[in-house]
């Protein structure tokens, strides 16, 4: 058993929250993106957040959200972190961090070496960095596509802030991804689902176990 921290993203039911907590994950992610099969209303997310036991950090995932949208989410849902998964600039990340007083994790899509500079830029303003696969051109979703990137690009690298590895992780490949990259935190959505937006408790348990083995 290691100290790897796991985030399970895209929870939609109280049973999902219970499965994530029972498996020993550190973070539960709630998606606010209308086109996503994992999208929640503020009322739904509030119900799930209130069902989360102490110690399970509640993360709201937003995409290029304006202040009115963020005001409503932060005002309506008890949260521990904001995850910015759009094209938010470093200045916007700093602004959101200052406005809400919550830790901010910025997602950065990686496909090749050229994407790595952005990781440094965002690590000067965000509390954490989520290193994810860059979505393919024309993809309906900016994340949660179940696609991996070449983990060797970030293998054994160091950034200014804590970071999380994401993109196409599954119970079958997460141990190898951790071994290659030395990630201390991992994030998954599609890889623990039986269908888009439908979490599978057995896969959640298997994922956390494999990550922490």
Residues lying near ligand LARABZUK in the complex (CB under 6 A) are found at: 9-10, 31, 33, 36, 38, 61, 63, 85, 130, 132, 141-146, 166-169, 187-191
* For helices 201-212 and 174-181, angle between their N-to-C axes, nearest 10 degrees: 30
Sequence length of the chain is 213
54 or 73: CB nearest ligand LARABZUK: 73
The distance of closest approach from Cβ of residue 184 to ligand LARABZUK in the complex, given in angstroms and rounded to an integer, is 16
* Alpha carbon distance 196, 139 (integer Å): 15
54 or 80: CB nearest ligand LARABZUK: 80
The verdict on whether 68 is a catalytic residue reads: no
The distance of closest approach from Cβ of residue 188 to ligand LARABZUK in the complex, given in angstroms and rounded to an integer, is 4
The distance of closest approach from Cβ of residue 203 to ligand LARABZUK in the complex, given in angstroms and rounded to an integer, is 11
Residues contacting 16, CB < 8 A, separation 6+? 8, 28, 48, 199, 201, 204
Of 3, 112, 132, 172, the catalytic one is 132
Which among 3, 5, 9 is positioned nearest to 196, based on CA atoms?
9
30 or 74: CB nearest ligand LARABZUK: 30
Q: Is there a contact between 47 and 18 (Cβ–Cβ < 8 Å)?
A: no
16 or 132: CB nearest ligand LARABZUK: 132
Residues contacting 37, CB < 8 A, separation 6+? 196, 197
The verdict on whether 9 is a catalytic residue reads: yes
The distance of closest approach from Cβ of residue 47 to ligand LARABZUK in the complex, given in angstroms and rounded to an integer, is 19
Of 3, 9, 68, 127, the catalytic one is 9
- CB burial of residue 80 (10 Å; 0-12, 13-18, 19+): middle
Active centre residues (catalytic): 9, 132
């Amino acid at each position: 058993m290691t100290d790897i921290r796991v985030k399970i993203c895209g929870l939609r039911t109280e049973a999902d929250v219970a499965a994530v907590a029972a498996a020993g994950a550190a973070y539960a992610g709630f998606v606010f993106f209308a086109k996503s099969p994992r999208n929640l209303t503020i009322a739904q997310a509030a119900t799930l957040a209130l069902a989360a036991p102490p110690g399970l950090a509640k993360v709201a995932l937003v995409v290029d959200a304006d202040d009115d949208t963020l005001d409503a989410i932060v005002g309506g849902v008890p949260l521990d972190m904001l995850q910015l998964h759009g094209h938010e600039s470093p200045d916007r990340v700093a602004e959101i961090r200052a406005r809400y007083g919550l830790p901010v994790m910025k997602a950065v899509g990686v496909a090749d070496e050229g994407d790595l500079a952005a990781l440094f830029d965002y690590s000067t303003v965000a509390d954490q960095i989520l290193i994810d696969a860059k979505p393919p051109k024309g993809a309906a979703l900016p994340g949660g596509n179940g696609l991996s990137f070449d983990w060797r690009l970030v293998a054994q690298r160091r950034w200014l802030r804590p970071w999380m590895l994401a993109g196409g992780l599954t119970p079958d490949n997460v141990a190898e991804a951790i071994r290659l990259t030395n990630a201390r935190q991992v994030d998954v959505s599609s890889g623990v689902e039986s269908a888009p937006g439908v979490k599978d408790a057995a896969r959640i348990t298997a994922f956390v176990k494999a990550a922490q083995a």
